[in-house]
Amino acid sequence: MKDLTRSTPKVDHEEKCSGKSVFVSDIHLEGMLFAKTVRSTVAKAKITGISLPVLPKGYTIVDHKDVIKENVVNMIFSDWPVFATDHVNYIGEPIMLIVGPDKKVLDDLVPQIKIDYELEKPEFGYFHSSIHKEYTKGDTKLAFFNSDRIIEETFETGYQEQAYIEPQGMIAYPEGPKKVTLIGSMQCPYYIKNAVMRTLGYSEDQVRVIQPSVGGAFGGKEEFPSTTACQLATAVVKIGRPIKMIFEREEDMLVTTKRHPSKITLRAAIDENHKIQAIKAHVSMDGGAYLGLSGVVLARAMIAVSASYTIPHLDVSGDVYTTNTVPTGAFRGFGAPQMIFAIEMFMHHIAKELHADPFTFRLAHLAKQGDLTSTGGVFRDPIIMKELIQKAAEISDYHKKVVAYRKPGSFKGVGMSWFFHGCGFTGDGESSHIKARVKLVKDEQDHVFVLIAAVDMGQGAKTSLKRIVAQTLDLPNEQVTFNNPDTDQILDSGPTVASRTTMIVGGLLQRAAESLKKAWIPGKKIEIIEKYQQPDYIRWNEATMKGDAYPAYSWGVNVVEVEVSPITYQVKVKGVWSVYDVGKAIDERMVLGQADGGITQGIAYGYLEVMRHEEGKIKQKNFTDYIIPTSVDVPVYQTVLYENPFPFGPNGAKGVGELTLVGGAPAVALAIEQAIGKKINKIPATPEFIMGLLKHE
Amino acid sequence: MVKHIIPANLKSALAYLSEGTFQIMAGGTDLMIQKRSTAGTLPHFERDILYLANLEELRYIQRKDGSVHIGSMTTLEEIIDHPDAPELLKEVIREMGSPAIRHAGTLGGNIGNASPAGDSLVALYLLDAQVLLSSAEGDRLLPIENVILGVRKTAMKPNELIHEIIISEAKFDQVKWVKVGGRQADAISKVSFAGAYRVSNHQVVDFRLAFGAISITVLRNRAIEKKYENHSVAEINEDLPEILKAYNALISPIDDQRSNKIYRREVALNIAKDFIEKMKE
Amino acid sequence: MSNITFKLNHEEVSVELNPSMRLLDALRDHFHLTGPKEGCGEGECGACSVLVNGKLVNSCCFPLANVQGKEVLTIEGYSKTERYHVLVEAFAHEGGSQCGICTPGMLIAAESLLTKNNHPTDEEIRIGISGNLCRCTGYNAIIKAIQRAIKQGAGLW
């Protein structure tokens, strides 16, 4: 049996290098028109009037009046309108499309469209709660009552923009009299299909979604493309021609979803043995103008409160606040990065207050196999965190550096974060919401086709998933084909999110391939469908948030070393060391690629990437002002993968995609803390922020 | 309808400039972005455009009579590569933009763009650069600080183009350049600083400081510099608080999407302080 | 409209296009090339990278007028060279390409760097690709790929 951990060439490598890989902006269709979105310029208002210029022939306005069934974009929580009707709730909210053959004419027409606003008072900040969740574990009241020390701190995190290098874009076209096809940069073909079906009132065979090459996504193309799709589909129904809409970078940065800013308050009850007996936590998230999937982001953040530690008693509440700002949404980590930052800093700060060594203090709280999770589930599988921690400390020379750098005025620091990530959709999402199915078809030539909805957005799913099938069937890779998803051919294996693709979809494919192997008859066409079955031992109560939130957990340790300039307060990242337990890698090179990319985003979230709004207007709207790392900003990385095979994952694999981002920010923040000798409770820890901490004597 | 002229030579370019009003385009790295429109549509130019980047006559670096003459269309990369270009200018350009920007951007373009955050301008101010402006009627030689008037404003007349930049070869014991951007490469300066000095017989005979991105134009104050000429390094350091106070009164940084005025002010003075403290006798 | 004559991927071409047109738009919309891409439109991301007379430039802020009499090479032209194949193999070996949107630009940037300096240090490689943003790889795999290409392609640059 060939080893799936071994790396093989990516099936799409050549086409990506040559520039021949087809991304949505490369596609041109006969008779294609272009669309431009007319957007709200105010944060909150009633629309009292719209005056349109005389439109030249061939130019059409498409707005809410043209929506044929439901002016809503189907999402986990469907509160986004396709087009604003008589109210706008954020700067950039789509009011209408203007469609026509010449982009220059569209540009000239947009400013001639006058919208009359009756301004209303916009809301910003954590005031108007639209989603409230809470859960408990054990008895926090008693624990606080009996505590020796109570320590409370508040942490804040900012926006983070996915900054995929390919901007969002979509094409919609009529395929026959009552069928609409969409091609666009996406992560979830069926999210788009279901949304368009609902908005148009169309049935399954009347909407088709095709995935072209996708130039990065990171969650930013999870739910947002559904909004574009519904708008374009409505336009296609009205006009009957193919329509293409590619976002300009500034437009993309200003109006598409971003990571939820957060404010997290943690209060710990500590006993006389320096053990944290209880944590009371409140998580506030800024959901922007519409909720979408914010409830799930909140849930994941809340569930991550004890991170890689075991805390016996928990009282966790959270709120998503509605504000008149751009709606926030999915971004790799999905609530975990915010919480892991908070809890890792908190643990360190508590240790310092107790005059305890942070390393030893945290070690005493480390989760073990068999422990109850934050929501009262069980860590059923072996936890090898001690080994990961030891290895990370060894390869980074952590302990020696801690001693060397803690001298005041060193302006050097090293930080170590410990973290985990729940693999798969939070709670019962897999069985109640996704209900994944995979299909394998073997044709008469004994060629096998993988017919699933998983999107390769760079993580290598196109290569790794087909290898699982080929391996299980004992076939050469070339005898298995996994084409980009086309909903006319495939089954809904679920969205490409939540670190579920390898573990859940890969697992389903492995079982399907095993069934195909048993049913194999050479020369005969065979079709196998495999459905997701929630393992019996996973019990979850959505209302009380109790039970096993995830079927498996991946674990990691990051060490980051920094140097801070006492003159300019700039941070230089000098070293990055990571150790991960993702079960068992499928294609080690691809997993290491995820590791590198994830930690780069995670570290930058902690010190470099700044996005703020002023009265609802985003201030950083291009790559000049929203700063992501260049090649010069990153040092050489060292990454080690440990094996801890998960019995229910293909090849023993667990989730990878998001784990590698969640530890970066606390690692760099802890390093900066040590370098400057001041507590950090807020990220990004920019030079301006660092200067403020140092000057605040 | 906008006219586009790619002149065959310098004489022809000057002739066109005397006949009409033109937007001069050099490498395009600033102008093409400022005027850009939706992808796939033409940039918004209202004036006729005169494209100078291909004029070989304006691409040169020559040493003549104790000065270095740099043609306005010499690319930033060509300046880094040329042995005769001043070291400070090379050091500044190495941290500007990216390789792609440096292959197309020109020194003339930087001056014409007159950005408050323009790094090369700080070097030109510090080096007492002079700018030769040419027209069909003749030439004018102006010190750089008289060419740059404000944000995107220069003293150029409509019939003029930037011909060359002349930098007299000054000897320094130390030259320092500090660029503070948002990241280590490909960044717009939040604050920048150039400093240079020369010591002779234990006296500082040449003492220069210039600050970028903290005012609408580069800040250089010869009165402060002159005050400390013919003083020793130790004496200058004794007066450090006064020097910093003097510059503090002159700089006027702003709050914007990249940084804030408190940071810019503090860091500008930190850098100047560090420079002066590290001066060697 | 003016006549602009230049070499595109080794072929002499002559076009009647607006000289202020972005080179990127001329390449994608007139010549129907897909290699150079629009990532930001403001010279920051490098997805639009092409070579003009062997030098890396951002075609999104390069006016068509400025290619008059010059040689433009996009990934389509570059992909016919042995150097390209050495780089592609190296990128495959090190995992230097994930979503692929920055990859043609990275390869063009590598070519521009190695043509000028065929034995760059780690730092010089980083500077050479500092104008090409990648959000997927964290860059180290790309640096290793270029280092590998230099070794495997000894004598090519």
- Is residue C60 situated within a structural domain? yes
Instruction: Indicate whether A21 pLDDT > 70.
Output: yes
End-to-end alpha carbon distance in chain B: 63
Q: Is residue A17 less than 8 Å (CB to CB) from chain C?
A: yes
Q: Do B187 and A627 touch (CB under 8 A)?
A: yes
Q: Do A17 and C88 touch (CB under 8 A)?
A: yes
Shortest alpha-carbon distance between residue B113 and chain C (Å): 15
Shortest alpha-carbon distance between residue A91 and chain C (Å): 21
Q: What one-letter code names the amino acid at C130?
A: S
Query: Mean pLDDT across chain B, nearest whole number?
Result: 97
Q: For residue B186, what is the nearest residue in chain C, using CA coordinates? A: C131
- Is residue A405 situated within a structural domain? yes
Write the CATH number for A446: 3.30.365.10
Model confidence over A405-432: pLDDT tens digits?
988 889 999 999 999 999 999 888 899 8
Query: Percentage helix, strand, coil, to 5, in chain A?
Result: 30, 25, 45
Closest CA to B172 of B143, B145, B195: B195
Write the CATH number for C45: 3.10.20.30
Write the CATH number for C104: 1.10.150.120
- Is residue A10 situated within a structural domain? no
Q: Note the pLDDT of residue A697.
A: 59
CB atoms within 10 A of CB C120: 19
- Is residue C138 situated within a structural domain? yes
Show residues of chain A in contact with B270, CB under 8 Å: 567-568
- Is residue A162 situated within a structural domain? no
Return the HEC string of A424-477: CCCCCHHHHHHCCEEEEEECCCCCEEEECCCCCCCCCHHHHHHHHHHHHHCCCH
Show residues of chain C in contact with A593, CB under 8 Å: 95, 98, 136-137, 141
Only one residue has tokens 């391939």, namely A513
DSSP A368: -
Q: Do B49 and C20 touch (CB under 8 A)?
A: yes
Interface A–C counts its CB contacts (< 8 A) at 162
Please give the residue range of the domain that contains residue C144.
81-152
Q: Do B40 and A103 touch (CB under 8 A)?
A: yes
Q: Are residues A550 and A645 in the same domain?
A: yes
Q: Do B38 and A632 touch (CB under 8 A)?
A: no
Q: Are residues C64 and C85 in the same domain?
A: no
Q: Do C140 and A636 touch (CB under 8 A)?
A: yes
Which of C46, C63, C128 lies nearest to residue B32, judging by beta carbons? C63
Closest CA to A419 of A124, A662, A247: A662
Q: Is residue C16 less than 8 Å (CB to CB) from chain B?
A: no
Model confidence over A351-361: pLDDT tens digits?
999 999 999 99
% of chain A residues with pLDDT over 70: 100
Q: Is residue A573 less than 8 Å (CB to CB) from chain B?
A: no
Q: Are residues A461 and A400 in the same domain?
A: no
Subunits next to B (3 or more Cβ pairs <8 Å) are: A, C
Torsion B48-B52-B57-B60 (CA) sign = positive
Subunits next to C (3 or more Cβ pairs <8 Å) are: A, B
Show residues of chain B in contact with C57, CB under 8 Å: 100, 103-104
- Is residue C157 situated within a structural domain? no
B contact residues 104-143, partner C, Cβ 8 Å cutoff? 104
Which among C76, C102, C122 is the end of a domain?
Answer: C76
Of the pLDDT bands very low, low, confident and very high (cuts 50, 70, 90), residue A696 is confident
Please give the residue range of the domain that contains residue A454.
429-531
Query: What ranges in B114-232 are assigned the alpha helix state H?
Result: 119-126, 144-147, 222-227
Q: Note the pLDDT of residue C37.
A: 98
Peptide bond into A174 cis (omega under 30): no
C contact residues 52-71, partner B, Cβ 8 Å cutoff? 52, 55-58, 60-63, 65-66, 68-69
Closest CA to A431 of A534, A287, A575: A534
Show residues of chain B in contact with C43, CB under 8 Å: 29, 32-33, 97-98, 100-101
Of the pLDDT bands very low, low, confident and very high (cuts 50, 70, 90), residue A36 is very high
Shortest alpha-carbon distance between residue B19 and chain C (Å): 20
| A138-159 average pLDDT score | 97
Which among C76, C98, C126 is the end of a domain?
Answer: C76
Shortest alpha-carbon distance between residue B61 and chain A (Å): 30
Which among A531, A556, A590 is the end of a domain?
Answer: A531
Q: Note the pLDDT of residue A409.
A: 87
Q: Are residues A294 and A415 in the same domain?
A: yes
| A197-205 average pLDDT score | 98
Q: Are residues A434 and A417 in the same domain?
A: no
Probe site for chain B from C1, C15, C20, C70 (most B CB atoms < 10 A): C20
Shortest alpha-carbon distance between residue C72 and chain A (Å): 16
DSSP B58: G
Probe site for chain A from B29, B42, B265, B267 (most A CB atoms < 10 A): B267
Which among C46, C76, C106 is the end of a domain?
Answer: C76
Q: Do C100 and A12 touch (CB under 8 A)?
A: yes
What ipTM was assigned to the predicted interfaces of this complex? 0.98
Q: What token pair was written down for A332?
A: 């790799």
**Would you say A160 and A609 are in contact if contact means Cβ atoms under 8 Å apart?**
yes
Which residues have C-beta within 8 Å of that of residue A254, sequence separation ≥ 6? Answer: A91, A92, A326, A618, A621
C contact residues 74-133, partner A, Cβ 8 Å cutoff? 74-76, 79, 84, 87-88, 91-92, 94-95, 97-104, 107, 122, 125-127, 129-133
Interface B–C counts its CB contacts (< 8 A) at 110
Q: How many domains does chain A have?
A: 3
Q: What does the alpha-carbon distance between residue A204 and residue A196 come to, in Å, rounded to a whole number?
A: 10
Torsion A478-A484-A490-A491 (CA) sign = positive
Q: What does the alpha-carbon distance between residue B29 and residue B106 come to, in Å, rounded to a whole number?
A: 9
Q: Are residues A655 and A676 in the same domain?
A: yes
Q: Are residues C8 and C44 in the same domain?
A: yes
Q: Are residues C49 and C91 in the same domain?
A: no
Q: Is residue A215 less than 8 Å (CB to CB) from chain C?
A: yes
Q: What does the alpha-carbon distance between residue B100 and residue B225 come to, in Å, rounded to a whole number?
A: 37
**Would you say A186 and A211 are in contact if contact means Cβ atoms under 8 Å apart?**
yes
| A324-351 average pLDDT score | 98
Show residues of chain C in contact with B8, CB under 8 Å: none
Q: Are residues A353 and A437 in the same domain?
A: no
Shortest alpha-carbon distance between residue C77 and chain A (Å): 9
Q: What does the alpha-carbon distance between residue A431 and residue A504 come to, in Å, rounded to a whole number?
A: 11
| Segment among A302-316, A372-386, A423-437 with least mean pLDDT | A423-437
| A320-346 average pLDDT score | 98
Instruction: Indicate whether A1 pLDDT > 50.
Output: no
Q: How many domains does chain C have?
A: 2
Of the pLDDT bands very low, low, confident and very high (cuts 50, 70, 90), residue A314 is very high
Inter-CA distances, A656 with A586, A592, A593, B99, Å? 10, 10, 10, 35
A contact residues 228-257, partner C, Cβ 8 Å cutoff? 246, 248-249
Q: Which residues of A333-342 are buried (b: 16+ CB within 10 A; e: fewer)?
A: bbbbbbbbbb
| B164-181 average pLDDT score | 97
Show residues of chain B in contact with A101, CB under 8 Å: none
- Is residue C23 situated within a structural domain? yes
Q: Are residues C85 and C72 in the same domain?
A: no
Q: Do B42 and C20 touch (CB under 8 A)?
A: yes
Q: What token pair was written down for C107?
A: 């390869």
Q: Note the pLDDT of residue A2.
A: 63
DSSP C30: I
Q: Are residues C58 and C118 in the same domain?
A: no
Instruction: Indicate whether A328 pLDDT > 70.
Output: yes
A contact residues 628-647, partner B, Cβ 8 Å cutoff? 629-633
Shortest alpha-carbon distance between residue A476 and chain C (Å): 20
Q: Note the pLDDT of residue A176.
A: 87
Q: Are residues C7 and C72 in the same domain?
A: yes
Shortest alpha-carbon distance between residue B42 and chain C (Å): 5
C contact residues 24-83, partner A, Cβ 8 Å cutoff? 33-42, 44-45, 47, 74-76, 79
- Is residue A267 situated within a structural domain? yes
Q: Do A631 and C34 touch (CB under 8 A)?
A: no
Q: Do B38 and A691 touch (CB under 8 A)?
A: no
Q: Do A688 and B37 touch (CB under 8 A)?
A: no
Which residues have C-beta within 8 Å of that of residue A462, sequence separation ≥ 6? Answer: A10, A11, A12, A456, A482, A484
- Is residue A139 situated within a structural domain? no
Q: Are residues A442 and A402 in the same domain?
A: no
Q: Are residues A352 and A460 in the same domain?
A: no
Q: Do C130 and B99 touch (CB under 8 A)?
A: yes
The segments of chain C whose pLDDT lies below 50 read none
Q: Do C57 and B103 touch (CB under 8 A)?
A: yes
Show residues of chain A in contact with B41, CB under 8 Å: 103-104, 107
Query: Mean pLDDT across chain A, nearest whole number?
Result: 97
R_g of chain A computed on alpha carbons: 25
Q: For residue B269, what is the nearest residue in chain A, using CA coordinates? A: A567
Q: Are residues C66 and C93 in the same domain?
A: no
